[in-house]
Amino acid sequence: MDDVRYQLYYWPGIQGRGELVRLALEDAGASYQDVARLPESEGGGLRALMAMLQGQPAGMLPFAPPILVAGELVLAQTAAILHFLGPHLGLAPRDEGARDRALQLQLTVTDLLAEVHDGHHPIASDLYYEDQKAEAKRRAGSFTGERLPKFLGYFEKVLERAGPHLLGKDLAYVDLSMFQLMAGLDYAFPRAMERLASRTERLRALADQVAGRPRLAAYLASERRLPFNERGLFRHYPELDAG
């Protein structure tokens, strides 16, 4: 397909970190292939993703998905991908300093996502949740009681200063990621999020605004938007959600 500009490589069956890239591509109406969701007969599936991870295409060897291919460029790390895509998709500020601040915020999203992941996998990523439930439960109180309020409190303050978007007047890719963060946290930690509602009003308004953007609203209602599940990054285990 000559008119496909971007190829996204991400694990099929989960939203995961790939969703942050997908949201930017969808919001911009960019032409892209979600390669691992294509049938193997069309060069897709897990086989294509594994070939990418084994470095079959030329370019910098990626460590983990998501991976973006744009022409000759092969790029991994969600924040780096969005930093690259932002200006091409009209989702980044023009000013260089503001683009760096967008990256700074996106890297803070990355940090929070790592803590979300480590909440259900506190001992080892290659063990099942069921093998580390006791440790996960021990960690959960600190996550919902301390870390989550600290991260969301930080983003809320950024909005209070800049508003209505994280970088001010214009929406940027990091605002789309903030929507995904709020959606995932609502799914995984409904009680903790309810408790934080009065301290996250600006974040909620931003998330609602993003969800209502026409292309994103269409995407969110489509089959391309997979439901959250207990194989992804945001998992709902009631025992880990603060009451």
Ligand X SMILES: N[C@@H](CCC(=O)N[C@@H](CS)C(=O)NCC(=O)O)C(=O)O
Binding mask 9-28 for ligand X (x = CB under 6 A): -------xx-----------
The angle that helices 18-28 and 78-89 make with each other, rounded to 10 degrees, is 0
Bridge-based pairing state of the strands 6-9 and 32-34: parallel
46 binds ligand X (CB under 6 A): no
CB 70 → ligand X: shortest distance, Å? 16
Measured CA to CA, the distance from residue 56 to residue 66 in angstroms comes to 16
Helix, strand or coil, per DSSP, at residue 79: helix
Nearer to ligand X, 19 or 241 (CB): 19
The whole-angstrom separation of Cα 206 and Cα 165 is 7
Residue 209 engages ligand X in binding (rule: CB under 6 A):
no
- Size of the residue set binding ligand X (CB under 6 A): 8
CB of 66 to ligand X, least distance (A): 6
In angstroms, give the least distance from the CB of 141 to ligand X: 24
Q: Name the phi and psi angles at 212, rounded to 5.
A: -90, -5
Residue 106 sits in the site that holds ligand X (CB under 6 A): no
Binding mask 61-80 for ligand X (x = CB under 6 A): ---xxx----------xx--
Strands 67-70 and 32-34: unpaired
Return d(Cα 41, Cα 27) in angstroms, integer.
Answer: 28
- CB of residue 208 to ligand X, shortest distance in Å: 25
Which residues in this chain contact ligand X in the complex, by CB under 6 A? 16-17, 64-66, 77-78, 110
